[in-house]
Amino acid sequence: MLGRLKQMLIKEFIQVFRDKRTRFILIGPPIIQMMVFGYAATYEIHHVPTVVLDLDHSQESRELVSRFTSSPYFDVQQQLTDSRQLGNLIEEGKATVGLEIDAGFAEKLRSGQTAPLQVIVDATNSNTALIASGYISQIALGFAKEYQRDRISRIAPQLMEVMPSVELAPRPWYNPDLRSRWFFVPGIIGSLTVVLVVTLTAFAVVREREIGTLEQIMVTPIRPVEFILGKTLPFFLIGLFDVTLIAVVGSLWFQVPFRGHVSVLALGAVLFLLCMLGVGLLISTVSATQQQAMVTAFFFIMPTITFSGFGFPISTMPRWMQICSYAIPLRYFLIVIRGTYLKGVGMAILWPQMAAMAGLGFALLTAAILRFHKALD
């Protein structure tokens, strides 16, 4: 058995590495996609196109506008003179945020009244609108707090020593600077692994059936179990290599800290790869051509990434979707990889995720092997 399996492995590696394009696909696209997603996938916003309509023209209004001008989150492009201009620029997509300061803004502040600041946000992209609104609130509250402190110090300086206040002191753990890239880069490692391993495994088996060599292989002394091992083991090793490559590039290039143990991450990667091999084999049993395998793999990959919590919190999904996500191996692998990278936790914390991937991997491989035996027969 070992001799036949060895020859099968040699055949598969020769078939994979003799083609220059295949060699490039195994190394080039994972690195390129890591770089693209690492820079593109982020929740942070910077230089939001902003226009200002200042109808007050006071020192206070100019001070408030200067806070937006000096902020890295907003790019004040124009100072308008008419409210119709503001609406037109947002409708045309030339501005995302519009600030309107009505006449009498400074007068109300000086008399101790509430001075409104109208903010118009293009909510076509709800995520950008929500984050921009949060930044605007912080800037406005900071301005109001500082103005109130200065006003009290001028009118009744003795109150400054007895006036109570609440000071917010946030202390983010594991990601002190709140860099969304630290959250996305580990997730990209898992997502790219899904695409690579599932497509490579499914296409390799289907290609044998499509070009007619599957029947030739099966008339040889090799047994079905040896054929399955010979087909999946090379892609398991290739997947392990790609996981390592992507993780190293992501960590070194994007400076994402790795605080955990390599052995814990390696165990999680092995269990996850077994799950993806099972999925690839299952796809190969229901596909007669490579085009069918590609469509079926796409049908699996997109929901997997969506339900995994890669970009959207699972807790915000409908209840039935949250239940469905428990059948997604990537959900557990993302917890493992983010836990080892950012938190540095070990098996004492991650054993439920490891157990879930082990169970799913066993179920998927068993189903795939049984279905594959039936397809061969």
The rounded distance, in Å, linking the Cα atoms of 67 and 150 is 17
- Going by C-alpha positions, the residue among 103, 68, 66 that lies closest to residue 83 is 103
Q: pLDDT digits over 74-89, tens only?
A: 999 888 888 888 888 8
Distances (CA, A) of 256 to 174, 326, 330: 11, 27, 20
| Burial of residue 64 (number of CB atoms within 10 Å: 0-12, 13-18, 19+) | buried
Q: Of 161, 196, 219, which residue sits at a domain end?
A: 161
Distances (CA, A) of 350 to 59, 82, 139, 287, 375: 57, 58, 40, 35, 37
Does residue 31 sit in the same domain as residue 56?
no
Q: pLDDT digits over 249-271, tens only?
A: 888 888 888 888 999 999 999 99
- CATH at residue 135: 3.40.1710.10
- pTM beyond 0.85, yes or no: no
| Burial of residue 105 (number of CB atoms within 10 Å: 0-12, 13-18, 19+) | buried
> If you write DSSP's letter for every residue of 2-15 in order, what string do you get?
HHHHHHHHHHHHHH
- Residue 20's domain comprises 2-41+179-376
Does residue 106 sit in the same domain as residue 184?
no
> Which tokens go with 182?
């630290």
Does residue 26 sit in the same domain as residue 61?
no
- Which one-letter amino acid corresponds to residue 274? L
Q: Evaluate whether residue 174 is within a structural domain.
A: no
Q: pLDDT digits over 354-373, tens only?
A: 999 999 999 988 888 777 76
